[in-house]
Structure 1
Amino acid sequence: MSHELTTDEQQLSDLVRDFADDVVAPAAYEYDTRRELPYKIIAQMGEMGLFGLPFPQEYGGQGKSYFHLCLAVEQLGRVDQSIGVTLEAGVGLGAMPIWRSGTEAQKREWMPMLARGEALAAFGLTEADAGSDAAGTKTTASLEDGEWVINGTKQFITNSGTEITRLVTVTAVTGESIRADGSVKKELSAFLVPSGTPGFTVEPSYDKVGWHTSDTHPLTFDDVRIPESNLLGERGRGFANFAQTLDEGRVAFAALCTGAAQGCLDESIRYATSRHVFGRSLGENQHIAFKIARMQARVHAARLAYYDAARTLVAGKPFKLQASLAKLIGSEAAMDNARDATQIFGGYGFLNENPVARHYRDSKVLEIGEGTTEVQLMIIARELGF
């Protein structure tokens, strides 16, 4: 796999980098403190075509590749993880299931507004006892008089309660069967639930350690009725389709991790060069220089890992192993770099107005979201035959 960027890819990366530095970064502390999603910035991202990068132009997209999306997510995550994950989840988790599994009518209805960034969709998989463990899903959907009736709850759902959220894709149990060994196998299907549907409640947002600007809510479904045509994909294929979405999402998530690791490195280099103690720059101390050198090594490894996963995905080859490797390497690089950057800054690194402090708070969830470190290790081990 080639890790050189094409001219088109480099131009996009540079464009988003400049936007991140000039527009996103200056506003990051204000919106993080207010815990608000900056809709003006999201609208600008929509005008730039970022939400439509991997989708065909006939559906309002840019006709680019999933790799282009990853490059954009990395540059945004470098200065503000909340903005980066809003794009990553909006495209990879919100719109992608509709593009991958939706009927032509569903695509025509939803994709243009999602691809233009005029609307957001959320990905309703996780529950208190379910996520990676699909068998734990308790949300149900039953077909009654030509309508699906959904009951249950979801949690930790990104982009589910914004002013521009228009729908949530939801997995639910639509039947059960008995296996030969007597155990119960749940039939899981996926559904499109528009915002504002009676019985569908977006609960108050979480009080999170980090990602303060990102929108995250628990959801409740109380006899929510939707048309039979709102089934997404084939009945019984809900988790299989979502599993593909998760694999793809981990690649973009790894790009977000890489951006966070790069942001910590950038800030540390700047500070170690400009800060003077005992008559010389901080970076002239070998233990500081070595710490920053290790940060560079982590960024390099993380970027190569997600580039490899993204290139493999775009080539249409199996990429599950590469996705988990990229997510594992990237999330650990982000967390380790955030810790080291905070240490390099000393007391200044403990102030919330400092970007490295925000990365320190934000980066922990990178080892949890879209499959924990332990889940990635499990997948990697399985791919190795264990």
Structure 2
Amino acid sequence: MQFSNEHQLIKEAAEQFANQHLVNNSEHWAQAGALPESLFHDLGAQGFMGILLPDSFGGANLDYQAYALILEGLAYGDAACSTLVSVHNSVGTLPIYHYGTHEQQSLFLPGCASGKQIAGFALSEPQAGSDAAAIKTKAEKVGNEYIINGAKQFITAGKSAHLMIVIATLDDHHHTAFIVPTNTPGYIVDKVEKKMGQEAAETVALRFENCRVPESYRLGEEGQGLKIALSQLEAGRIGIASQALGIASRAFDCANQYAKERHTFGQSLNEHQHIAFLLAEMATRLEAIRSLIWRTAVAKDAGQPVKQLAAMAKLFASENAEWICRQAIQIHGGYGYLQDFPVERLYRDVRVTSIYEGTSEVQKMIIARSLSEHA
């Protein structure tokens, strides 16, 4: 795939950062269950924490093609890091940029772009995952404040984030968005979840108990909450598709190298036709994933509707990335099942990509509806 000179430099910068800062630390961070705060400062210095934000707020002022390349490169080094960077750059900061007042933008975005502050997004609830309209967290207007009560589930960076975009309901049906600093009294981390993979990207259950937020921290108008939340999901899906690609690329490289070095029955593994054909199919699927993500990012940058394309990219990337990681383990044989080899963790890390930011089933619903509307 041919890139412009600028995009080639961005791609190389992300890959260099991953090799220097992420690859050799990924396993340690997974065992520790957290990423170091200094990492986000380093990411901010590279422009990776304000990818889509304008330079007036300290951002890198890049496009979605660059966003995809950066997420792919970071995911190659560490999936957990790429998850936090994806959430932060899409559903964490973009709602403030697109719907916030100038005062809100000036207060929050420079810190986010520098990596000194991490932004998160709290929509899902214990009873409302894919069905966003079913959320029950409530906000009550009292004077010049809103009092938030309720619970959120599966929230990325809910403990380490400095600010959270929270969607709550007014009068049981007016979904409204709020910027909630995480040091606000009543913002409570109930539980840090133990997960199958991506252990360093903490996922938490949140509780809000009489959490008071000033009216000046309401994001957009009352009743705009779902519009604000859903409008950023295309960016999130491009990010997760790119993440899946990065994880799968690392798994493929591990498998390809192992197949060259491992000898059975008097020849290297990659000289056995079945293994050679399997590697060929893995490489082909990687290029197909990359092409679909790139087409989506180019269309997004051109201002074209990409709801269907983003769903296709996320669906195709996540499902095929998991397949590629599974085959990488198979090529390693018994060693692939051991934690001594990266492919074991890569398979656990990639599994969630077909679940968060909309399950594969939800992506199929979006695609099917789009096809029906344009039939």
| Category of TM-score, reference length = shorter chain | over 0.9
Does residue 75 (structure 1) correspond to residue 62 (structure 2)? The answer is no
Q: Whole-Å Cα distance in 1 between the matches of residues 248 and 320 of structure 2?
A: 6
Residue of structure 2 aligned with 1:286, choices 273, 295, 301 = 273
1:201-227, Cα deviation, whole Å (9 max, x unpaired): 012310000011112111100111111
Q: Give aligned-pair identity as a percent.
A: 37
Displacement of 1:79: 2.5
Q: Whole-Å Cα distance in 2 between the matches of residues 19 and 115 of structure 1?
A: 17
1:245-264, Cα deviation, whole Å (9 max, x unpaired): 11221011111111111111
Q: Whole-Å Cα distance in 2 between the matches of residues 62 and 247 of structure 1?
A: 20
Letter in 2 for 1:326: A
Answer whether contact 2:156 2:204 (CA < 8 A) is retained. Answer: yes
Letter in 2 for 1:128: P
Q: Whole-Å Cα distance in 2 between the matches of residues 194 and 39 of structure 1?
A: 17
Q: CA RMSD in A?
A: 1.2
Displacement of 1:347: 1.6
Displacement of 1:353: 3.2
Where do residues 335-346 of structure 1 align in structure 2 (5 Å cutoff)? 335-346=322-333
Q: Whole-Å Cα distance in 2 between the matches of residues 21 and 295 of structure 1?
A: 22
Displacement of 1:29: 1.2
1:15-44, Cα deviation, whole Å (9 max, x unpaired): 111121222101111111222213333321
Q: Could you tell me which residue of structure 1 aligns to residue 97 of structure 2?
A: 99
Displacement of 1:66: 2.4
Q: Whole-Å Cα distance in 1 between the matches of residues 133 and 265 of structure 2?
A: 60
Q: Could you tell me which residue of structure 2 aligns to residue 13 of structure 1?
A: 11
Q: SS in structure 2 opposite 1:189?
A: strand
Answer whether contact 1:121 1:160 (CA < 8 A) is retained. Answer: no
Residue of structure 2 aligned with 1:171, choices 161, 167, 175 = 167
5+ residue gaps, structure 1:
177-185
Q: SS in structure 1 opposite 2:192?
A: coil
Answer whether contact 1:79 1:355 (CA < 8 A) is retained. Answer: no
Q: TM-score, normalised by structure 2?
A: 0.97
301-310 or 36-45, which deviates more: 36-45
Q: TM-score, normalised by structure 1?
A: 0.94
Q: Could you tell me which residue of structure 2 aligns to residue 148 of structure 1?
A: 146
Does residue 334 (structure 1) correspond to residue 318 (structure 2)? The answer is no
Q: SS in structure 1 opposite 2:191?
A: coil
372-381 or 210-219, which deviates more: 210-219
- CA 1:333–1:187 in structure 2 vs 1: closer, same or farther (change >3 Å)? same
Answer whether contact 1:206 1:217 (CA < 8 A) is retained. Answer: yes
Q: Could you tell me which residue of structure 1 aligns to residue 56 of structure 2?
A: 58
Q: Whole-Å Cα distance in 2 between the matches of residues 54 and 145 of structure 1?
A: 35
Displacement of 1:52: 1.4
Residue of structure 2 aligned with 1:234, choices 221, 232, 256 = 221
- After superposing on structure 2, the runs of 4+ consecutive aligned residues of structure 1 that deviate more than 6 Å are none
Q: Could you tell me which residue of structure 1 aligns to residue 132 of structure 2?
A: 134
